[in-house]
Amino acid sequence: MATVAAPAVERENYLNTDYGIRSWLLTVDHKRIAILYLISITFMFFIGGFFATMIRLELLTPAGDLMSSDTYNKMFTMHGVTMVWWFLIPSIPAVLGNFLVPLMVGAKDMAFPKINLASWYLFMISAGLLLYVMLTGGIDTGWTFYVPFSTSYSNSHVIAAGVAVFINGFSTIFTGLNFVVTIHRMRAPGMTWSRLPLFLWSNYANAVIMLLATPVLAIVLVLVALERAFGIGFFTPQLGGDPLLFQHLFWFYSHPAVYIMILPSMGVVSEVVSTFCRKRIFGYAFVALASIAIAVLGFLVWAHHMFVSGMSAYAAMVFSLLSYCVAVPSAIKVFNWTSTMYKGSISMATPMLYAMGFIGLFTMGGLTGLFVAALGVDVHVTDTYFIVAHFHYILVGGAVMGYMAGIHFWWPKITGRMYSEVWGKIAAGVIFIGFNLTFFPQFVLGYLGMPRRYHAYPPEFQVLNTLSTAGASILAVGYLLPLLYLLFSLKYGEVATDNPWGATGLEWRTTSPPPTANFEESPVVTWEAYDYSSIPEVPVAR
């Protein structure tokens, strides 16, 4: 592990130091843990994708004919549960963040490498439990676990699934803890806060949310389990509880969780846009502080999920106003990314295509957020496909596009190989088209009034549902393509140089892939973030 970097005949890196299985399962190297996470969440992504496929196939026709209602209810529940907790929340932080945070601050590893490994083991235990739940009958409460359905009426594995999410939450907390401490305490000499790459700013803000919000999820899951198992009346009125208490607690976590999913993507996009425009991010300080503003305001808007729940109309007005406030920092980011392109020297490589896709689709998702923040409109569209479309634009059009941008951008650094640029661009295009065809019709369906979580629907909604299913099949191809050409590149890809894109971050100033200790000598930072004059001119042919 702690060997001195060997001279450059065959450069030693974190991948070739040891090939044994123990060297992976007992590693405390943040880069290897990132790889472990990458494999695990990719597997979970395709499981979640399988459920999505079943949903879209069922909705191809108005009648509920492909599977039973109970099966359909389990499909959308397990799609949501898997994608939210076992893919989106760990995606960028646990893979790219784990790999990059120590590299970007100029450190040898995370502050707590063993806690980092423990985080992955907790994730795997929770994933195993979730797979057990899936294979032994599943869960049908919706990913939101609404009471009293989940505590008193559902006949599925609510407690087991709750325990899985509970354990999963601690893997999130461990990751967040490591990020906060590493970014505070382990920055290289000269790496001041104002020189921090924006990826770190957004992951820092994100880690704070992970630390503060996730425990509330743990609490509410314990309460649900206690009520379900022992009949202790927290939420069910017949037992003396209040179902709205559950909703307040659940959304107090789950709204910030949306920002857990999107903030890291914003960080990726900042890095990618700057690099492929060869230009400092326009309004660096505003983009950085917007992340903090989102993290803080994100805690104050939870009840906008509850405008028709029966809570006080005056409370609803406060939450509507605060929801508009949290839209401002998001708007600031979009304007700054767009302005960064102005007078840049723009290369349309695959990561940039994904980043541009992110900006466009996140803008659509954010702007439709303004629709649902408007009380009078939300009453009509909440719990319809309008909401489904809105959050998929944020979480798939935004978060997953950002994740794809990041995976492609740092792929040469992580693996030491270049992927096929041609296939990369094709896949980005296919994903963009498939995504829009899948989800745009759902905005129309929602305003027409089609409720979400419907196994069967009135026949007049069929044309739009068919379009959506057609789009989903294109999207599925789009997601399978990268799996193939990225794996292909591991063996046949061109060997990557240390800094193939001409980017400025510290991670590009070490070898590709980096040595176990990250840097041959500890870096000292004397330049501002995104200072393209600080690196030798790199010809980028792509």
Partner 1 sequence: MWQDLPLWPNRASALANRVDALFIFLIAVCGFFAVMIFVLIFVFAVKYRRSKNPVPTQIEGSLILETTWSVVPFGVFLIMFVWGASIYMVEARPPKNAMEIFAVGKQWMWKFEHPEGQREINQLHIPVGRDVRMTMISQDVIHSFFVPAFRIKQDVLPGRYTTTWFHAIKPGRYHLFCAEYCGTMHSGMIGEVVVMEPATYQAWLQGGTGEGSLASTGQKLFQQLGCSSCHRSDTQGRGPNLAGVFGKPVLLDDGRTVAADENYVRESILNPGAKVVAGFKPIMPTFDKIINEEQLLSLVAYVKSLAQPEQREPVSNRPAVTPHSAAATQRKQ
CB 184 to partner 1: min, Å: 26
Give the Cα-Cα-Cα angle 114, 292, 341 (nearest 5 degrees): 105
Minimal distance, residue 499 CB to partner 1, in Å: 16
**Interacting span for partner 1 (CB under 8 A) from 128-136, 182-190, 421-429, 444-452:** 444-452
CB of 309 to partner 1, least distance (A): 5
**C-beta atoms surrounding 458 within 10 Å:** 11
Q: Which of 76, 86, 251, 228 has its CA nearest to residue 169?
A: 86
Q: Closest distance between partner 1 and the C-beta of residue 457, in Å?
A: 7
Say if residues 388 and 440 touch (Cβ distance below 8 Å): no
Segment 224 to 263, residues that bind partner 1, using CB under 8 A: 236-238, 242-244
DSSP 92: I
Q: Draw the binding track, 339-358, toward partner 1 (x: CB under 8 A; -: no contact).
A: x-xxxxxxxx-------x--
- Is there a contact between 248 and 216 (Cβ–Cβ < 8 Å)? no
Size of the site for partner 1 (CB under 8 A): 93
What does the chain come to in residues? 542
Are the C-beta atoms of residues 273 and 339 closer than 8 Å to each other? no
Q: How far is the CB of 396 from partner 1 (least distance, A)?
A: 17
Q: Of 117-125, 178-186, 374-382, 391-399, which segment contacts partner 1 by CB under 8 A?
A: 374-382
DSSP string, 54-99: HHHHHTTSSS--SS-HHHHHHHHHHHHHHHIIIIIHHIIIIIIIHH
Judged by CB, which is closer to partner 1: 222, or 377?
377
Residue 121 or 146: which CB sits closer to partner 1? 146
Smallest Cα–Cα separation from 209: which of 95, 89, 289, 295? 295
Q: Tell me if 338 contacts partner 1 by CB under 8 A.
A: yes
488 and 479 Cβ atoms separated by less than 8 Å: no
- 196 CA to centre of own chain: 21
- Which parts of 8-67 interact with partner 1 (CB under 8 A)? 64
* CB 243 within 8 Å of CB 236: yes
Sort 422 into a burial class: Cβ within 10 Å, 0-12 / 13-18 / 19+.
Answer: exposed
* 310 binds partner 1 per the rule CB under 8 A: yes
**Residue 4, phi-psi category: left (phi > 0), alpha (psi -120 to 50), beta (remainder):** beta
Beta bridge partners of 495: 417
N- to C-terminal Cα separation, the chain = 36
Using alpha carbons only, what angle is made at residue 326 by residues 320 and 327, rounded to the nearest 5 degrees? 95
Candidates 66, 219, 300, 331; binder of partner 1 (CB under 8 A) is 331
Closest CA to 156 of 76, 42, 250, 61: 76
Which one of the spans 16-24, 181-189, 363-371, 510-518 is the region binding partner 1 (CB under 8 A)?
Answer: 363-371
Task: Tell me which residue of 361, 363, 368, 433 sits closest to 400, measured CA to CA.
Answer: 361
**Which residue, 120 or 461, is less far from partner 1 as judged by CB?**
461
Q: How far is the CB of 368 from partner 1 (least distance, A)?
A: 7
Q: Which of residues 139-158 bind partner 1 (CB under 8 A)?
A: 140, 142, 146, 148-149, 152-154
Question: What mask of x and - would describe binding to partner 1 in positions 508 to 537, judged by CB under 8 A?
Answer: ------------------------x-----
CB of 48 to partner 1, least distance (A): 19
Q: Of residues 68-127, which lie at the interface with partner 1 (CB under 8 A)? A: 69-70, 73
| Cβ closest to partner 1, residue 328 vs residue 480 | 328
Stretch that binds partner 1, among 207-215, 322-330, 389-397, 505-513 (CB under 8 A): 322-330
Q: Does 309 bind partner 1 (CB under 8 A)?
A: yes
Contacts of 303 (CB under 8 A, 6+ apart): 248, 251, 311, 315, 316, 319
Stretch that binds partner 1, among 48-56, 162-170, 315-323, 483-491 (CB under 8 A): 315-323
Binding test (CB under 8 A) with partner 1, winner from 377, 426, 470, 474: 377
SS3 call for 529: coil
The stretch near partner 1 (CB under 8 A) out of 178-186, 253-261, 366-374, 475-483 is 366-374
Contact positions with partner 1 (CB under 8 A) in 285-304: 285-286
Q: Which of residues 177-196 bind partner 1 (CB under 8 A)?
A: none
Scanning residues 454 to 493, which ones bind partner 1 (CB under 8 A)? Answer: 454-458, 460, 462-464
Instruction: Give the whole-angstrom CA distance, residue 31 versus residue 27.
Output: 9
Stretch that binds partner 1, among 46-54, 109-117, 160-168, 441-449 (CB under 8 A): 441-449
12, 271, 378, 507: residue in contact with partner 1 (rule CB under 8 A): 378
Among 13, 91, 275, 368, binds partner 1 (CB under 8 A): 368
- Tokens encoding 67: 């599977």
